[in-house]
Structure 1
Amino acid sequence: MASSSIRGGYWPTWINSELPPSSINLALFTHLFYAFLQVDPSTFQLIVTDDDDRMLRAFSEAAHGHSPRVQAFLSIGGGDSTSAFAALAADPASRAAFIQSTIAVARQYDLDGLDLDWEHPIDTDEMANFGRLVTEWRAAVEADSGQPRLLLTAAVRFEPSFQWEVPRSYPVAEMASALDWINSMAYDLHGPWEPNTTGLHAALYDPTGAGVSGSDGVTAWVNAGMPAAKVVLGMPLYGRTWRLTDSNQNGVGAPAAGTGPGTDGVLRYSEVVQFNRDNGATVIHDVNWGEAYSYAGTSWVGYDDAWTAERKVEYARGAGIGGYFFWSIGQDDAAWTVTTAAWNAWQN
């Protein structure tokens, strides 16, 4: 499994000045995702700015120049792209324009694959259109003869069926047929939208039985019909923080009053390390949840570290899934501690 597995990472373009593609520790990845390009809402083609042109060339060259070669993907969309995807996916002509544009960009920059990051279809109609889009995408890629076969993936919610305003389910059968794998975003499971209690936002397990965890999500995807080998588990390189109402109540689910340190209650892993060191924080590795948390005074943070990465890789290998990925490159510490731990654990 180790030789053919996915050990990926998303590289967000906004960190180019601090961590250009040439500075990524490429020995720790088999697949890299360029995040993101957006869709023109009128033409439904990809928007490639002058900056994107330069960064995409550097990204592809860095990945392919490494030995062994790292596969380079283009991720399309991200958190603010829902309305554009909804519009393009609803119309056959718009879908065709989008699909042809993505293939053309992939060929122009010598990319190995394309990744759809539609967060998230909002109702049953959009989910059905999601299925139509990926099915037509696959057909177009297969018809692109005479070129290396492009891989197609999608970043998805950690579970295939869920309810926010309305219940909805991903079109798993179409996705299993059309996509090479899915990247399960098993993070942001808890956050500032739950201000009154602490939560482990990337828990591997959920001992409460509520099913809000990475392993519960993997099981749900497989039970819904996605082959295990096509499920890739996401791990975050950042933590989410809360402000405790009582410093003596500091476990998972402790009373809280909103976010703690960090911008909007978020700390990069490198910042978590500094927070723990500077504040003499108590660090807990909770085997029941499969995640770490720390606290100092009324500040509390849940996060992944080397210990959790090793636990998640052990789980992933045992479950027979396709691998793991990190969101996002550039948030680990200077020693690449968490990504190194995951890589080594998968090798052993």
Structure 2
Amino acid sequence: MELKQAAGSKIVTIAVSAAASRVNDGYDVPTLSQSVDFINVMTYDFHGTWETKTGQNSPLFSAPGDTTNFNTAFSMNYWAQMGMQRSKLLIGIATYGRGWRLTNPSNNGLGAPGNPSPPQPYSATDGFAAYYEVSFWEII
């Protein structure tokens, strides 16, 4: 509450984890709800090339067979259940893509085995493409 009072008319926001385990271990949600104007829930990186199968970076709902709490809907509802005012909850979005090179191109879709896609020219990171790299792709 002290931070909000010290900020005066300024807007106070924070970015927070979407993972329920991190919410439980790291945040006093009722106090945060009183202390900030908005929270940006980082609803991305639920899946990535640190896994050996494909998955959505920022799914709205869980895919069949997926961990039920690794999705945007669960995370936003969890923050509200823990005491954050819904009017203060903002969905944080990723402006990049995650990619895999499939182990078997015939086995594609969510959960297909794969390895990180090759690095893009500017971000130079396996399995990652920045928005400005994806926006240049010619899709046929």
TM-score past 0.5 threshold: yes
What displacement does 1:169 show? Answer: 3.7
Matches within 5 A, 1:12-91: none
What displacement does 1:162 show? Answer: 1.2
State the alpha-carbon separation in 2 of the partners of residues 235 and 153 from structure 1. Answer: 15
For 2:81, the equivalent position in structure 1 comes to 223
State the alpha-carbon separation in 1 of the partners of residues 110 and 136 from structure 2. Answer: 21
For 2:21, the equivalent position in structure 1 comes to 162
CA RMSD of aligned residues (A): 1.9
Of structures 1 and 2, the larger Rg is shown by: 1
For 2:90, the equivalent position in structure 1 comes to 232
The structure-2 alpha-carbon separation of the partners of 1:223 and 1:178, relative to structure 1 and needing over 3 Å to count, comes to same
State the alpha-carbon separation in 2 of the partners of residues 140 and 241 from structure 1. Answer: 43
Alpha-carbon displacement from aligned partner over 1:81-116 (angstroms, at most 9, x marks no partner): xxxxxxxxxxxxxxxxxxxxxxxxxxxxxxxxxxxx
Percent identity over the alignment is 32
State the alpha-carbon separation in 2 of the partners of residues 267 and 158 from structure 1. Answer: 22
**TM-score, normalised by the number of residues in structure 1:** 0.36
The structure-2 alpha-carbon separation of the partners of 1:150 and 1:230, relative to structure 1 and needing over 3 Å to count, comes to same
What displacement does 1:226 show? Answer: 0.6
Higher RCO, Cα 8 Å, sep 6+: 2
State the alpha-carbon separation in 2 of the partners of residues 213 and 228 from structure 1. Answer: 17
2:21 is paired with a residue of what secondary structure?
strand
What displacement does 1:253 show? Answer: 1.0
> 1 or 2, which has the higher strand percentage?
1
Matches within 5 A, 1:58-137: 135-137=1-3
Gaps of 5+ in 2: none
Whether 2:96 is the aligned partner of 1:213: answer no
What displacement does 1:141 show? Answer: 2.4
| AA matched with 1:268 | A
For 1:204, the equivalent position in structure 2 comes to 60
**TM-score, normalised by the number of residues in structure 2:** 0.83
Matches within 5 A, 1:322-333: none
1:155 is paired with a residue of what secondary structure?
strand
State the alpha-carbon separation in 2 of the partners of residues 150 and 204 from structure 1. Answer: 31
How many residues end up aligned between the 2 structures?
132
What displacement does 1:272 show? Answer: 2.5
Matches within 5 A, 1:179-328: 179-194=36-51, 196-207=52-63, 208=66, 210-257=68-115, 259-261=116-118, 262=120, 263-264=124-125, 265-275=127-137, 277=139, 280=140
| AA matched with 1:232 | L
Gaps of 5+ in 1: 1-134, 143-148, 281-348
